[in-house]
Amino acid sequence: MWLIFKKEFKELLRDRKTIIFMIVLPLLLFPLIFGVAMFFMNSAAEKAENVVLKYAIVGEQYAPEMSQQFANETDKFTMVDIQGDADYAKLIKDETLDFVLVIPETFNNEVLTSGQHKLQLYLNDAGLNKVLGRVSEIVDVYTDEFQKTAFANLGLNESQQQALLAPIVIEKENIADDREVWGERLGGLLPYFIFILCLQGAMAPASDLGAGEKERGTLETLLISPMERYKLVLGKFFTIGVAGLITALITVSSMAIWGIVLSQGLAIEFVAEVMAMIGIIDFVLIFLMLIPVVAIFAAVLLSLSIYARSFKEAQSYMGALVMVVVFPVLIAMMPGVKLEGGWIWVPLTNVALAMKELFKGTMDYFALFGIFTSTAAIAVALIAFCVFWFNKEKVLFR
Amino acid sequence: MIEISSLAKRFEVENPKKLSEQEKKDPRLKGRYFQSVKDVSFSCGQGEVLGLLGPNGAGKTTTLRMLSTALKPDSGTVVIDGEDVLANPIIARKKIGFLSSSTGLYGRLTGRENIAYFGELHGITKSIISARIEEMADLLDMQSFLDRRAENFSSGMKQKTAIARAVIHEPSLVVLDEPTTGLDIMATSTVMDFIQRLKDKGTPVIFSTHHLDEVQMLCDRVTVINQGESVFNDSLAAFSALSDGQMHKSFLHTLKMNTAEVGQCG
């Protein structure tokens, strides 16, 4: 068995594709995802805020001061002349305008007598230009002014004004500490990435070790060697498993290392906060829980691979497996699903939930018994199935 | 010495609807099952070379897979040097050197590593493996590519490496499935010389082929399989005598066909 493992691993390390999935991808994925996402979010927001909006005001004579303010802010707005009866929607759709503001003729009347003023804003809200926000910046000044005038006319003091504006206020007293808040937000998402990476890391060698043997024509020669079948299977299983574990180890280490780099080296505050809350033991526990998870992946992948007639067929089966793996992780993300009761015994979902609890700092360590027992039991059953599968001529010589 | 008697093997057809019209007409197809091998018997003694002939789909590869233990027969026996292959497959495997028709190698391993791996699977020590690899590399003219990765080998290089791998454990029986298919004249000649050398050493060799000149050159015995049954099993001389030394006519004779019928088959 060791002999099989040694040879398979040597071949694995000589395969560029496997190295990419096993080492490079998990090492770079997290900083890449966060980096790219932050870069695009920032640049999109910056672009949206800086773009000069083309506008038209209908009824500007009713609010000359406000209209003048739009005209003054030339770095933000540029006016386009239109006819009063123009088709606003068409002008916005063909990008002649970004928005049209229609001011009612009653705009200058006192609000207590005329009632609420309704300004109509025509815009394409599917865009990213923050039109409403930027228009509101100017309009809100008048809203405050109108409010003050109305309150003054009513003779209300400041406290009465506040009570009128917001008669009921909910004051939130959050008892969750920061770790729990961040854990809930990040902890649900991380198992998703980690599981997929471990699966990807194990997929490339699995395709090669089963279907690849068939396609190359080496399987037959291997089957007639004096090595017992179960040893052949275990040798291959451990190779795939170790590949998955290396991916898991690199993924978890990468999370920790990049966390330290981002929090200390680049002084990113929110990462620093998260990193300060998570201890090395949490990372070790995450890695330990991934061992039986990877064993499950390795056994299923090897079974699929040996069943497939070719590399291509194996990869199509494995593609479908990704969906199957994502499902229990999605369950763990659902509201109300917690690491308690029956969920402790549901493989994969329990590990995903446990990761979330570890991040939140609310882990019930007794649950680890259920997690390891159920996941390991499934893994052993799947390995046994793999051995059985490897003894079936119908599977080997399809 | 190997003795094979009344071997039979059938396979379940995964999707009978997908079979071609010709396959559906094959009398060996019974419902969901295809009787690949019905009744095959032959023997090959010490120092003998047996040529296994038959049209495509006759059951040659299935027969060779059964005697090499890759497939388990439904019935029949295979005995190698007194050892029942079915009862003790692991022991039998140590006695057999098998070269499949695909000659697959591990592309990311060198030729030397490919051969050594199978030597280790047979439990041979590293020093003996090294010595045997050197010996075979000289015999098969492999020194120039032995330490190169197999993924870039020509078909001749692959075949030589696969042969060396098949015999690294010095088996008492060598089974070769179409060993010269797809090879150029030089590589074919090397393979032929190697079989001759095995024969000279007294190792029984069974090889399947479509090349009757190879049979004429090397074989002592001939077995013809047709429709899953051994229809001829005798000496080369007896085979040749079927049609006054014209090998291809002898072959057709065993199939109970004439030249016109062969054209229809094609």
Instruction: Give ipTM to 2 decimals.
Output: 0.84
For chains A and B, count residue pairs whose Cβ atoms are closer than 8 Å: 74
DSSP designation for A126: T
Mean pLDDT over B75-94 rounds to 89
d(CA B8, CA B229) in angstroms, rounded, equals: 9
Residues in chain A closer than 8 A to B103 (CB atoms): 217
Is pLDDT at B258 greater than 60 in this prediction?
Answer: no
**Which of A50, A46, A44, A59 is CA-nearest to residue A77?**
A50
Rounded CA-CA distance A207/B101 in Å is: 22
Per-residue model confidence (pLDDT) at position A270 = 64
How many other C-beta atoms are found inside a 10 Å radius of the C-beta of residue B112?
A: 21
Looking at every residue in chain A, the average pLDDT score rounds to 85
> pTM for the complete prediction?
0.76
Strands (E), B45-196: 49-53, 75-80, 83-84, 96-99, 173-177
Range(s) of the domain holding residue B135: 2-265
pLDDT at A269 > cutoff 70: no
pLDDT at site B265? 45
Chain mean pLDDT for chain B: 89
Q: What percent of chain B has pLDDT over 70?
A: 96
Is it the case that residue A186 has pLDDT exceeding 80? no
Q: Which stretch of A141-150, A225-234, B215-224, B254-263 has the lowest confidence by average pLDDT?
A: B254-263
**How far apart, in Å, are the Cα atoms of B126 and each of A127, A263, B161?**
70, 52, 18
Residues of B with Cβ-Cβ distance to A228 under 8 angstroms: 90
Q: Do residues B190 and B137 make contact, with C-beta atoms less than 8 angstroms apart?
A: no
Left (φ > 0), alpha (ψ -120 to 50) or beta: where does B54 sit?
Answer: left
Half-sphere exposure at residue B58, Cβ-oriented, CA atoms within 13 angstroms: 20
- What is the pLDDT at residue A54? 92
- The C-alpha atoms of residue B132 and residue A376 are separated, in whole angstroms, by 44
Helix, coil or strand: residue B109: coil
Q: pLDDT tens, A235-246?
A: 999 999 999 888
**Do A367 and A344 form a contact (C-beta atoms < 8 A)?**
yes
CATH number at residue B59: 3.40.50.300
What are φ and ψ of residue A76, in 5° steps?
A: -115, -35
Q: What is the pLDDT of residues A312-368, one digit of tens each?
A: 899 899 988 888 888 888 888 887 888 888 889 998 899 999 988 888 888 888 888
Tens of pLDDT, residues A34-79: 667 767 777 777 777 788 899 999 988 899 999 999 999 988 899 9
Q: Mean of the pLDDT values across residues A151-176? A: 84
**B171 secondary structure, DSSP code:** -
Q: Is the pLDDT of residue A162 over 80?
A: yes
Search chain B and give the residue with CA nearest A232: B121
B94: Cβ contacts below 8 Å, ≥ 6 apart: A226, B122, B169, B171
Residues of chain A in contact with residue B108, where contact means CB-CB under 8 angstroms, are 10-11, 14-15
CB-CB contact of B127 with B155 (8 Å): no
Q: What is the enclosing helix (H) or strand (E) of B262?
A: helix B259-265
Cα A161 → chain centroid: 43
Is 70 exceeded by the pLDDT of residue A265? Answer: no
Q: Look at the alpha carbons of B98, B99, B100, B106 in this order and tell me if their dihedral is positive or negative.
A: positive
Q: What's the per-residue H, E or C state across chain B?
A: CEEEEEEEEEEECCCHHHCCHHHHHCCCEECCEEEEEEEEEEEECCCCEEEEECCCCCCHHHHHHHHCCCCCCCEEEEEECCEECCCCHHHHHHHEEEECCCCCCCCCCEHHHHHHHHHHHCCCCHHHHHHHHHHHHHHCCCCCCCCCEHHHCCHHHHHHHHHHHHHCCCCCEEEEECCCCCCCHHHHHHHHHHHHHHHHHCCCEEEECCCHHHHHHHCCEEEEEECCEEEEEEEHHHHHHCCCCCHHHHHHHHCCCCHHHHHHHC
Tokens 């002008």 locate to A91
Which three-class secondary structure state does DSSP give residue B3? strand
A244: CB partners within 8 A, 6+ apart:
A198, A199, A201, A202, A294, A297, A298
Residues in chain A within 8 Å Cβ distance of B100: 217, 220-221
CB spacing of A11 vs B12 below 8 angstroms? no
Of A213, A216, A226, the CB nearest to B90: A226
pLDDT band at B10 (very low <50, low <70, confident <90, very high): very high
B93, B106, B165: residue with CB nearest A226? B93
Rounded distance, CA A231 to CA A239, Å? Answer: 12
CB A101 within 8 A of CB A58: yes
Are the beta carbons of B101 and B177 closer than 8 angstroms? yes
**Amino acid A15: pLDDT:** 83
pLDDT tens string B96-112: 999 887 778 999 999 99
Residue B86: which pLDDT band, with cuts at 50, 70 and 90? confident
- Tally Cβ neighbours within 10 Å of residue B169: 23
Quick: pLDDT tens for A204-224.
Answer: 889 989 998 888 888 888 888
- pLDDT tens per residue across span B185-214: 888 888 899 999 999 999 999 999 999 999
- Cβ separation B108–A226 shorter than 8 A: no
Q: Chain A contact for B172, CB < 8 A?
A: no
Number of domains in chain B: 1
Please identify among residues 173-232 of chain B the ones whose CB lies closer than 8 Å to any CB of chain A: none
Q: What is the pLDDT of residue A70?
A: 92
Give residue A87's identity as a one-letter amino acid code: D
Mean predicted confidence (pLDDT) in B45-53: 94
What is the distance in angstroms between the Cα of B248 and the nearest Cα belonging to chain A? Answer: 31
User: Of A11-25, A83-97, A238-252, A269-283, where does mean pLDDT reach its minimum?
Assistant: A269-283
CA distance A227 to chain B (A): 6
What is the C-alpha separation between A234 and B130, in angstroms, rounded? Answer: 27
How far apart (Å, rounded) are the C-alpha atoms in residues B187 and B76? 36
CA distance B127 to A133: 80
Domains of chain A (ranges, CATH numbers):
2-36+178-396 (no CATH), 46-165 (3.40.190)
Supply the pLDDT for residue B254.
87
Verify whether the Cβ–Cβ distance A217 to B12 is below 8 Å.
no
Which pLDDT belongs to residue B266? 39
**Tokens representing residue B38 in the block:** 């019905």
